[in-house]
Structure 1
Amino acid sequence: MRSRYTAFALEDAAYLHTSWHPSTRPRSIEFEPGLRWRTLVIVDRVAGGPFDDEGVVEFEAFWQQDRARGTLHERSRFVREDRRWLYLDGEVQ
Structure 2
Amino acid sequence: MSRNNARPPTAISPTSPCPCGLDGSPFRDCCGSLHSGRTTASTAERLMRSRFSAFAVRDAAYLLKTWHPTTRPSSLQLDPEQLWTRLDILATTEGSPFHTEGTVEFRAHFSVRGRADSQHEHSRFLRDNGQWVYLSPV
Larger proportion of strand: 1
Q: Which position in structure 2 is the counterpart of 1:81?
A: 128
**1:38-53, aligned counterparts within 5 Å?**
38-53=85-100
Residues 22-51 of structure 1, C-alpha deviations (whole Å, 9 max, x = no match): 000001111123110000000000000111
User: 1:34 is aligned with what amino acid?
Assistant: E
Separation in 2, partners of 1:50, 1:64: 33
Per-residue CA deviation, residues 13-72 of structure 1 (Å, 9 max, x unaligned), is 110111000000001111123110000000000000111100000000000112211000
Structure 2 distance, partners of 1:21, 1:67, is: 33
Task: Report runs of 4+ in structure 1 exceeding 2 Å deviation.
Answer: none
Q: For the residues of structure 2 that align with 1:49 and 1:57, how far apart are their CA atoms?
A: 11
Q: Percent identity?
A: 45
Structure 1 alignment gaps of length 5 or more:
none
Residues of 2 paired with 1:14 and 1:31: CA distance?
11
For residues 81 and 33 of structure 1, the distance between their equivalents in structure 2, rounded to whole angstroms, comes to 30
Q: Which TM-score applies when normalising by structure 1?
A: 0.93
Aligned-partner Cα distance in 2 for 1:18–1:67? 30
TM-score, length basis structure 2: 0.64
- Structure 2: gaps of 5 or more residues: 1-47
Q: How many residues align?
A: 91
Q: Is 2:62 aligned against 1:15?
A: yes
Q: Where is the helix percentage greater, Structure 1 or Structure 2?
A: 2
Task: Pick the structure with greater CA Rg.
Answer: 2
